[in-house]
Structure 1
Amino acid sequence: MLKWLYRLMIELTNHAISAKFIAFFTKSRLSAWLIPSYAKVYEINQDEMEKSLRYYKTLQQLFIRKLKADARPIDETPNSIISPVDAVIEEIGTISEQKNIVVKGKTYSISEMLGSEAIAEKYLNGLFIILYLSPSHYHRIHSPISGVITRQWALGKRSYPVNRLGLKYGKKPLSKNYRMITEISDGGKHLAVVKVGAMFVNSIELTHPNEHLIKGQEMAYFSFGSTVVLLFEKDSVKLDSRIVAPMGIKVGERIGYWK
C-alpha cells in the first residue's frame, strides 16, 4: 500500500508543468527570500563557500555554489580514486553476471542504466558505488581519476526521487531517470560515472573543457540534489578499508585504488 501511494503521489506531481514551474522559481529573484532559511534548515557550511550568502540572488545560484580553493583537498596518493561528490555512500556491491545491481532491495539492469548491452558487458562482476546528494550537499561533480573521456551520452526524460524512499519505492530511478554518463579510461581500464537527475530538476551541466581529465577537476554540476553511480570493471579497483555503506564522504577523499 505504501509503495502504491508513494508512486501515485509522484506521478501526480512529476510532470513537465510542475518541473518548469520549480525550475523557473528557483532561478527567479522571488526565491531569494528563501535563501537564509534554506541555509539554516540544511545547515550549509557558509565558511567554506567561495562567496558569502548575500552574494546569491536566487536559490539556483546557491544550489550550484562553488567552494573556496582549499575547501576540498584532493588525495594525491598514486593510483588513488577519489569521491567525485559530497554525498552519502548509500550502497556498495558487485555487478552480477546478469548485468544487474541490487540497491535497497531493488534490482537494476546496468544495460538499461547505460543504454547498451555492449558497454554493460565490460562491467560484469565489477564494483558499483551509489553516492546520494541531498539538497544540503555541494552539487558540483569532480573527476574521480585522471584519464581520458572515451564516450559521453544522455538518456531518459523524466525523473523520480533518488532519496531512500525513491530508491526503495520508486520505478527504478537509477536506470530510468534522466541521466548523463561519462566513461573515463586510464591505462586500459574504464570507469563509468553515471550522473542521475533528481525529481523536477533534470539539469546536469557539463563544465570540463575537453576530453582529458585530471583527478579532482570539476566535470559538471547538478542544479539540485541527486545521485552519482560509479561502475568499475572486474578486478580494476580495491576499496579503501574505511569505506562502508552508509557513510558520508566529500570530494577529494580517497575511496579506493586502481589495481
Structure 2
Amino acid sequence: MKQKIYRTLIELTNGPFTAHLIKKFTQSKLSRHLIKSYAKFYRINLDEMLEDINSYANLHTFFTRKLKENIRAIDENEDSVISPVDGVLEDIGEIDSNSVIYVKNKTYSISEMLGSSERAGKYAEGTYMILYLSPAHYHRIHSPINAKIMNRYSLGSKSYPVNRLGLKYGDSTLSKNFRTVTELEHDGKSIAMVKVGAMFINSVEIINQDREWNKGEEVAYFSFGSTVVLLFEKNSFRLYQEIPIPSEVRVGQALGQVK
C-alpha cells in the first residue's frame, strides 16, 4: 500500500510542467534570496567554495558550485578507484549471472540500465557500487580512474527520486530514470559509469568530451540531487574493506582498486 501511494504521489507531481517551473525558478534572480537559508539548512561548508556565497546569481549556480582548487586530495595510486562525487556510498555488491542487482530488496536490471543485454553481459558476476548525492552535497562529477572513453550515450526521459524512499518504493529508478552512461576502459578492463537523474530535473551536464579522462578530473555535473552507479567486470575490482556501508565519501577518496 505504501509503495502504491508513494508512486501515485510522485507521478502526480513529476511532469514536464512541474519540472519546467522548478527549473525556471532555480535559474531566476528571485531564487537568489534563498541561497543563504539553503546553505544554512543543509550545513554547507562555505569555506570550501570557490566563490563567495554572495556572488551567485541564482540557486542553480549555487547548487552547481565549484570547490577551491586542490580542496579534495586525489588518491595517487595508479590502480585505485576513487569516489567520483561527494556523497553517500549506499550499497555495493555482486551483479548476478543474469546481469541483475538487488538494492534495498528491489531488483534492477543492468540490461535495462545500460540499454541492451549485450552491453550488460560484460558485467555479469562483476561488482556494482551506488553513490547517492543529497541536495547538501557538492554536485560536480569527476573521473574515478585514468581511463579511455569507449562509449557515451543517454537513456530515459523522466526522473524520480533516488533517495532511500525512492530506492525502496520507486519503480526501478536506477534502471528507468533519465541517465547518461559513460563506458570507460582501464588496463583492458571495462567500467560503466551511470549518472542517474533525480526527481523533476533530468539534467546531467557533460562538460568533458575528451577521449581520455584523468583520475579526479571534472567531467560533468548534476542540476539536482542524484546518483552515480559504477559497474565493474567480474574479478576486476576489490573494495577497500575498511569502508562501511553506508558511508559518507568525498571526491578523490580511494574506494578500492582494479586488479
Equivalent position of 2:142 in the other structure:
142
Q: Percent identity?
A: 55
Equivalent position of 1:97 in the other structure:
97
CA-CA distance at 1:207 after TM superposition: 1.1
Letter in 2 for 1:15: G
Equivalent position of 2:36 in the other structure:
36
Letter in 2 for 1:152: R
Distance 2:185 2:15 in 1: 37
Equivalent position of 1:164 in the other structure:
164
Distance 2:61 2:242 in 1: 34
Task: Please give the secondary structure, in 1, of the residue aligned with 2:85.
Answer: coil
Task: Please give the secondary structure, in 2, of the residue aligned with 1:30.
Answer: helix
CA-CA distance at 1:208 after TM superposition: 1.0
Equivalent position of 1:61 in the other structure:
61
Runs of 4+ residues deviating >4 angstroms:
none
1:92-241 equivalent positions in 2, closer than 5 A: 92-241=92-241
Equivalent position of 2:6 in the other structure:
6
Distance 1:124 1:146 in 2: 23
CA-CA distance at 1:243 after TM superposition: 2.0
Task: Please give the secondary structure, in 1, of the residue aligned with 2:108.
Answer: strand
Distance 2:116 2:140 in 1: 27
Distance 2:5 2:33 in 1: 33
Give RMSD over aligned pairs. 0.7
**Residues 139 and 221 in structure 1, CA contact (< 8 A), matched pair in contact too:** yes
Structure 1 unaligned blocks of 5 or more: none
Distance 1:245 1:193 in 2: 20
Letter in 1 for 2:41: V
Task: Please give the secondary structure, in 1, of the residue aligned with 2:89.
Answer: strand
Distance 1:244 1:174 in 2: 22
Distance 2:93 2:209 in 1: 32
Distance 1:243 1:113 in 2: 26
CA-to-partner distance for each residue in 1:131-160, whole Å, 9 max, x for gaps? 000000000000000010000000000000
Equivalent position of 1:78 in the other structure:
78
Distance 1:10 1:126 in 2: 32
Aligned pair count reads 259
Structure 2 unaligned blocks of 5 or more: none
TM-score under structure 1 length normalisation = 0.99
**Residues 92 and 244 in structure 1, CA contact (< 8 A), matched pair in contact too:** no
Distance 2:97 2:241 in 1: 25
